[in-house]
Structure 1
């Protein structure tokens, strides 16, 4: 799969002219800070898109809006043509913090989401075991979070989301706190899981890393500084499946240069504000 999307696929996620305001501090203040302004983005079914931009540009804010964890002030956010209103069970979220229950084993942590959804106990056990095997943690099923490395904990967090089979996966800098070697390993693991499934999930991945965005994505949406909107959409024409050799390819280096130039414009103050 190269380029933007699978032939014949339909729009899965659409953001139209989204505006998000936060009130400024002070109980008497009526002023607002604009975080997102005229934010537009369309993601096709089965596409992997990364959101990249300067700190504070609203990347995580849009992710939270898409997941139904935050409201917004204007425009529309749609999943399968339906406006997002509150938490959507078809959207699974993986955060930077693992958010694992410290008193539960890896297996039981993965079962939590299934239990909330009313999945019977035997089926919960079977599905959790299967997904732990998928992320390479079958041997660690009975370990508690403190007995796992940071990379293993993040894989448990990914497994927990995969277990209930959401149609959309959103990641908020899930590998940012990990060392470089573990981070690259997990990027490869994430692609292996995503590329090996019968039907690819639609993915929105928030990151600060240009290399991470290129390695993972079909397209990269580069944002302006706050108030954030999409400044450029970059196609990543690297063949799949992708291995570590992709990182040293001519196309990879070319895209890195292109994205870095756009980001540098924004960090230095933006040429169109």
Structure 2
């Protein structure tokens, strides 16, 4: 195997790491690389989305339950895990939406949250960092803040004049945005289910997508990582978040085997690179090995 490299993926809430890029992280961990998932918040404001977990003892202790779920998911994926320590902002509802509470992740000053991620970067020393795009993948305030913090930390971690007292400077070499929810992928799975005479859970999603004339993030993809052999691990990690994932939900409508045939990759956009690489890529570490060993 090539020299061990390090990958850090930064997420807003526990379960995001399992629904966005989990097969990728499982693959790189299985290949012997070091992988760290950073979770910015504890998911304290989340609802219970699996009716089977709607029990008094779960409701009363949801923050701790979600921490336990995250630990199980990390173990399944074979990755290291770190809490950044901020409070879930929740998803405000209303027109207009109400203001966010003080002290939650999305309202903490950017410099404060960036400092904690810079600390994590300088300790783990990743060669590659993954986060969300400027829309957060979807416009949850914590996802958007996760993007902002990740980009700021990528740019700051290597600067010895910034965030002094958080460790020795370390400059990651590549920054990616994760693009898991593409219209093309959803359409492909939708048509596959209909061809089998099954009901598709994506009918309404596709209709809304077209009505809103949303761009397809797949058009931005530069890097497709083959990871179909790890789809089962991805799904097991998702199920570990039992308060958030109903095992009968759309996440599991298309079998892993069918997914391997239809769309065997997880997809990313390279947005910063300090190494030479040729697009399109099929490996997040393209160009990194050569730089590290030079």
Query: Normalization by structure 2: what TM-score?
Result: 0.27
Structure with greater helix percent? 2
The structure whose residues are more often strand, as a share, is 1
TM-score by length of 1: 0.29
